Structure 1
């Protein structure tokens, strides 16, 4: 009870940090291991890819006609690509004793953040929460199930298709540099170039966000760097839409002047 001595408060808060303690909220007086809540973490809910993912997950978690048995409440958590918000949402879902947590999209390639996420996932799993990584690399020793996408293979096939059409000068619009999906798709693209003896120019790659505006701006930058490019490979289809708009605004025809390909098949 208040008032609390400053020394006592300091000891308690230090213990909270050391034990990663979170309040159990409305379930604090209940004996149930988990609630009926399912948390879905997405990088950008405005991206059609993540909307499709969230919808598909929601259709699988129960309710009338569902496969899991019983009603489940799906909560979509939009991180905006922020590592801090990702950890905050995981803590909130831990506090609510979520029945399941699904993390979608690429993971951040940052060692301290990866360690913090792994610790959170481990605590969730230990508390009985099912954890699924969808489109992310596996997280060993966390109890999480990983459903991986072949980003390298897909990136390679995409570029090989354009090379097969005769293209030799290909611009590439990559996603954020710190994302696993960005690195893996770019590695696939570069593997295709190398396999066909095409020497990559550093000016042919531009990094940006996974959205339409970024695709538009990156395409204008690619054209400024090398107006002779005959194809643009986009890291996802939202980026490809922006690339198409930029090419049209620049007076170029698709595909007569420049071909465009995007990852995700939206």
Structure 2
């Protein structure tokens, strides 16, 4: 017997890739549990599926930076309650210092749907009752015919896991000019923020101000203290867009609308910015 739950949850996270650097991603998770019926004539109670599996996914990967532990470009060490990560991609070297729980070390040389799902299956299967013989998790991006971008960021003021300096999303964008959807503007912004780290200007610092990392030429340095601990990031400048505001989805939508209005004040703009799947913010100027 197979029990299935489609769209069980959404994983919003970032990962390191040899060619793309730091990539923000959002995967919808579908689950299948294969096994025999228990004393209640169920494979597993739906309520428990949502509680046990979703909670485990949140703890293992969601709002973290996934690291390809078997990739030769990656080095990991620890110092003063921080995990130190260094990754040499074709877009430049990325270095981070964060509490260990901000990272997900996955035993693979490449992060993708398959390696993440296999990691989750191996970690979660022991949490399920004995009658569940097999767990299959399928990860998929949201189906979209429009424009979208992959971005990473950190929200130091957030009291939850969004404060982690390197997590991200795959986000759709819809821009309207005078009530008409504008493919040109959607394409422009999706290309601008594709595989981009969106940094807040207030979090920028000089290399000399870093406590755990060393700055390098042509990089941006970020640091901040949040409730979960101390965070630092050194990332190539060409990998970033520095904003004069926080990078919540509300601020991103308003920032885009403001930039558009500054270019052409004769039009009225509506920006529908998503943060991952099925949630976001609308700004109008």
Q: Considering the TM-score relative to the shorter chain, is it more than 0.5?
A: no
Q: Which has the larger radius of gyration?
A: 1
Flag the structure with higher helix content: 1
Normalised TM-score (structure 2): 0.29
Higher RCO (CA-CA < 8 Å; seq separation 6+): 2
Normalised TM-score (structure 1): 0.30
